[in-house]
Structure 1
Amino acid sequence: MKFIHTADLHLDREFEGLVQEVAYQPYKILEKIIDFAIAEAVEVVFFAGDNFHQSQPSIKIQNYFTTQLARLKPHGIQAVVIFGNHDYYRESVYWVQFSDNVTVFYSESVMTRKLTLRTGETLAVSGFSYQHSHISDDKIVDYPLRDYACDYHIGLFHGEISGHKFAPANLTDMLSKNYNYWALGHIHLASQLADSIIYSGTPQGRNKKEVTNLIVYGEILPSGNLIYFQDLAEVHFETLTLDLSACQTLAQVLTYIMGNLVDETIFYSLNLKNYEAVADNLQEAIDNEELLEELRQNHTIVKLKLLPLASNKHLLTSIEVPKFAMPDIDFTDIYSLLPHKKEIQAIFDDPEFITEVQDNVSLYVSQYFDFGGGQDEN
């Protein structure tokens, strides 16, 4: 059985940290995944949650998702979908129906669905969807043992290993089910926890932290699984640290920087170091954003930063606070300063609003300060 495993599409989420207009639309990654599935003649495509970034996606993006999955049907390819913590399922917000080649898990209870593939082989898929933004229960204990009456058994899961907010699980329990494969979602960086237990990560990164843009292309054989990570992303975020110690003039600085910006499909974050020979003028060009404006004529620049010089502490352009994480925002205190209206209260009671504000503030801070913290995106 050949399959594709993807997760965390976040179709209605834009690129973050950009102030430039770009030609790329991040949701288009789904079309590339569908094209790849058809070209490789896979039997099934698994979507492991957070297909949408919003808990109430627009009608337009809902239609886009279902239309793309329906493209698989003429080729005898099935799709299996679960919903995650971002797009937790409520029937009341959906305007669309999935085509009959798509199996959707709507319940928060673990269920098993059996499919007959175009080869005539049978596939059991066990999984669940979020119906709330958080799940504190260990859901893996509810997954059944492998059904040997079927040719294959797949576990579809959106959650975290350990933790406490997003269906916390442990690797040992997953392995004990003896499934052919576990398709995981929720962590945006690709990670292979075991031969058959994999986070595919997000297939199209939206910010500089999401550096693995992959899907899993796999084949289950009697001899074992063949697993390949495939990069279909149109653009990638990359951080470059450039050493300017050989540059004695501003002209040399510009030539050197431009010589390192080699790909128009990369969104660059640039750190400049060892610029003693041109420190004062370079600092001025950074402060007035003249250099940034010039670089953005032909390239996408997310951030341009001078690293501190060892001999000139006064040239620090950011505060470095190691092993420090941003505190939670006190929304109760903020609300107390606003008019006490039902409409405002409803907004502050929405967990998606709280999460969105915290994410946006964290992203803004990351552009100007260096804080420690984990790399996993939820």
Structure 2
Amino acid sequence: MRLVHAADLHLDSPLLGLSRLADSDLAATLRRATRRACENLVDLCVAERADALLLAGDVYDGNWRDYATGAFFVRQLSRLHDEGIPVFLINGNHDAESEITRSLRLPPNVHRLATDRPETVVLDEVGLAVHGQGFATRAVLENLVPAYPDRLPGLVNVGLLHTSVTGAEGHDSYAPCTPEDLERCRYEYFALGHVHDRRVVADGEHVAAFSGNLQGRHPREPGAKGATVVEVEPGGRAQLRHEVCDVARWTHIRLDVSGLGDADEVLDALDGRLRDVGLEAGSRPVAARVTLDGATAAAPALLDAEWLRAEIDIVAEKSGAVVETVRNRTRSPRAAAAQAAVDEELAGAVAAAAERLVADPSQVEAMVAPLEREVGRRLRGAGLDLRDHAGLAALARRAEEELRARLAGSG
């Protein structure tokens, strides 16, 4: 049996950082990217002759009221109906607050599983049993897995769940569970959603995995994105294969310039990294965030931010990339020596405070609430969403880095 597992489509999600892209064509491509990635997902299901598509939540992006988004999704599901491919989906935390989710009529090939209890849908014609429960509200804080039903013998049993499992940086802790909880269900495969990175959380006899999202939406979602093709038979171990569905790619190049002698060497090293990223992306456009870090004699020459950005744009253009942001954290060897001498106890306290904020971004949200009320809309237009927990966690990390640099006297 061949299944396709996808999650976190976030159709028509307002992508962050587009205002910082000088290339208007790339910005336009990224605005359409989630829809085109969804079309690629449907094409994949057809090309693979999939027995079913599994959607593990967050088709939509919160309280999004544009019904054209829903109509687009229904058209894609209808394409699968015409190909005879059934679809199983559950509500994620974003779907639970979406008006579109509650009002759209879905084609007859689509099975949306219950939100008040785990539900099982059996397709005898293909020998498949799908067990799952969606979110009735945005914040589901209890472990749903213990209530999932026993596997049905003689069938391929698949679980659908939107969850953080044991936790993931930048993601709210929803429907938490452990890999052992998932394995105890003894399903051939558990298709997970919510975490946007592709990862396997149980790789023994009973496999459980996140497919990641279909399309990166900002620099904190870098690299290839897509869906997971699952080959499995009753009682057998699932075999997974990742297939790319994205149409544009974000990357964050963190370049350690330690020991490089001058600005030309720094730019040459960056050129090599950007060329590698371009080769990996193929024909897809690339938006790059660049961070330069390390102790180098070139640090004084890199202090001119306008000159540095212009030079980096020229280097990026040669590899077909567009630069979103440049962060210069280089320092002279003398300043680096001072940073190494920072009191270890104080540095540890700074790191511990940052870890607490990253683990619970709601604390940062409370801190910036006055800013959100006053200038939140304006900041979102500039690419900074103070309501985005992943972004707030990244801000906490950046604050830690900046504070440690200032303590060392280099900032």
> After alignment, is 305-314 or 172-181 more displaced?
305-314
**Aligned mate of 1:84, from 82, 92, 107:** 92
* Residues 138 and 77 (structure 1), Cα distance of their counterparts in 2 relative to 1, 3 Å cut: same
Query: Is it true that 1:219 corresponds to 2:231 in the alignment?
Result: yes
Query: Is it true that 1:356 corresponds to 2:387 in the alignment?
Result: yes
**Aligned mate of 2:120, from 112, 124, 130:** 112
* Residues 358 and 126 (structure 1), Cα distance of their counterparts in 2 relative to 1, 3 Å cut: closer
Aligned to 2:55: 47
Structure with more of its chain in helix, by fraction: 2
Structure 2, unaligned runs of 5 or more: 279-283, 339-346, 358-362, 375-384, 404-411
> After alignment, is 355-364 or 102-111 more displaced?
355-364
1:1-378 correspondence to structure 2 within 5 Å: 1-18=1-18, 19-20=20-21, 21=24, 22=26, 23-24=29-30, 25-27=32-34, 28-88=36-96, 94-116=102-124, 120-148=125-153, 151-162=155-166, 165-195=173-203, 196-211=207-222, 213-222=225-234, 223-234=236-247, 235-241=249-255, 243=257, 245=259, 248=262, 250=263, 253-262=266-275, 263=278, 265-273=285-293, 276-285=296-305, 289-291=309-311, 294=314, 299-309=321-331, 311-313=333-335, 322-323=351-352, 324-325=354-355, 326=357, 327-330=363-366, 334=370, 356=387, 358-362=389-393, 370=401
* Residues 330 and 277 (structure 1), Cα distance of their counterparts in 2 relative to 1, 3 Å cut: closer
> After alignment, is 161-170 or 100-109 more displaced?
161-170
- What are the Cα deviations for residues 149-181 of structure 1, in whole angstroms up to 9, with x where unaligned? x62221101112246951122222322222121
Percent sequence identity over aligned pairs: 22
* Residues 51 and 96 (structure 1), Cα distance of their counterparts in 2 relative to 1, 3 Å cut: same
Aligned equivalents of 2:44, 2:295: Cα separation in 1: 45
Aligned residues of 1:56 and 1:87 also touching (Cα < 8 A): no
- What are the Cα deviations for residues 227-278 of structure 1, in whole angstroms up to 9, with x where unaligned? 2122332224242415375554x55654553344221633322233567454
- Name the SS for the 1:135 alignment partner: coil
> Deviation of residue 182 (structure 1)?
0.7
> Deviation of residue 284 (structure 1)?
1.1
* Residues 227 and 362 (structure 1), Cα distance of their counterparts in 2 relative to 1, 3 Å cut: closer
> Deviation of residue 101 (structure 1)?
1.1
* Residues 357 and 215 (structure 1), Cα distance of their counterparts in 2 relative to 1, 3 Å cut: closer
> Deviation of residue 34 (structure 1)?
0.9
> Deviation of residue 357 (structure 1)?
5.2
* Residues 330 and 88 (structure 1), Cα distance of their counterparts in 2 relative to 1, 3 Å cut: same
- What are the Cα deviations for residues 314-357 of structure 1, in whole angstroms up to 9, with x where unaligned? 999xxx9544144433379739x98xxxxxxxxxxxxxxx9825
Aligned residues of 1:45 and 1:79 also touching (Cα < 8 A): yes
* Residues 274 and 220 (structure 1), Cα distance of their counterparts in 2 relative to 1, 3 Å cut: closer
Aligned equivalents of 1:188, 1:162: Cα separation in 2: 15
Aligned to 1:344: none
Structure-1-length-normalised TM-score: 0.79
> After alignment, is 357-366 or 81-90 more displaced?
357-366
* Residues 93 and 153 (structure 1), Cα distance of their counterparts in 2 relative to 1, 3 Å cut: closer
Aligned residues of 1:285 and 1:291 also touching (Cα < 8 A): no
Which one-letter code corresponds to 1:207 in the other structure? Answer: H
Which one-letter code corresponds to 1:140 in the other structure? Answer: V
- What are the Cα deviations for residues 20-75 of structure 1, in whole angstroms up to 9, with x where unaligned? 13233331211111111111101101000111122334211111111112111222
> Deviation of residue 359 (structure 1)?
4.8
- What are the Cα deviations for residues 135-158 of structure 1, in whole angstroms up to 9, with x where unaligned? 12221121110122x622211011
Aligned residues of 2:351 and 2:400 also touching (Cα < 8 A): no
- Name the SS for the 2:152 alignment partner: coil
* Residues 308 and 192 (structure 1), Cα distance of their counterparts in 2 relative to 1, 3 Å cut: same
Aligned to 2:378: none
- Name the SS for the 1:4 alignment partner: strand
- Name the SS for the 1:197 alignment partner: strand
* Residues 211 and 288 (structure 1), Cα distance of their counterparts in 2 relative to 1, 3 Å cut: closer
